[in-house]
A and B are shown apart, each in its own frame.
Chain A
Amino acid sequence: MAELNTGGGGGKKGGKVRSKKSNPGVDLTAMVDLAFLLITFFILTTTLSKPQSMDLALPDNTVVPPGESPETPAFRTLTVVLGKNDKLVYYIGLTDNPYMEDGINGKPKLENYGGKGIRKALIAHNKFVMDRVEDPKKQGMTVLIKASKSANYKNLVDILDEMAIVKPFSYSIVDVTPGDLKMLEDNKIK
Chain B
Amino acid sequence: MANVKTSKKSTRIDMTAMCDVAFLLLSFFIMTATSKVPEPKPVDTPASTIEAKLPERNLLTITVGDSAVYLGISEREIRKSALEAMSLKYDIAFTPQEIEEFSLLDSFGVPLEELKSLLALKNSERNKPGTQVGIPYKGDISENELSYWVYYANAAVIMEQQAKGVEKIKEIEIAIKGGSKEKYPVVKNIFDILQKQNMNDFYLVTSLRDEDF
Using a CB–CB distance below 8 Å, which chain A residues touch chain B?
1-3, 25, 27-29, 31-32, 35-36, 38-39, 42-43, 45-46, 49-61, 82, 114-115, 147-158, 160-161, 164-165, 173
Contact = CB atoms under 8 A, between A and B. Distances in A.
Contact of B29 (A32, A42, A55): A42
B33 to A, nearest CB: 5
Interface in B194-208: 195-196, 198, 200-208
Contact of B12 (A2, A152, A154, A165): A2
B204 A157 contact: yes
A161 B51 CA distance: 11
A49 B34 CA distance: 9
Contacts, number: 157
B182 interface: yes
Given A39-B29, A155-B184, 7 more contacts: A51-B54, A52-B51, A52-B207, A53-B206, A152-B181, A156-B187, A158-B48
Interface of B: 10, 12-16, 18-19, 22-23, 25-26, 29-30, 32-34, 36, 45-54, 64, 175, 177-188, 191, 195-196, 198, 200-209, 212-213
B165 to A, nearest CB: 29
Closest 5 CB pairs of A and B: A28-B15, A35-B22, A42-B29, A154-B180, A153-B182
Nearest to A52: B206
A155 B185 CA distance: 12
A180 B180 CA distance: 23
Contact of B206 (A2, A50, A54, A82): A54
A157 B213 contact: no
B204 A32 contact: no
In this complex, the member of B29, B53, B182 whose beta carbon has the largest number of chain A beta carbons within 10 angstroms is: B29
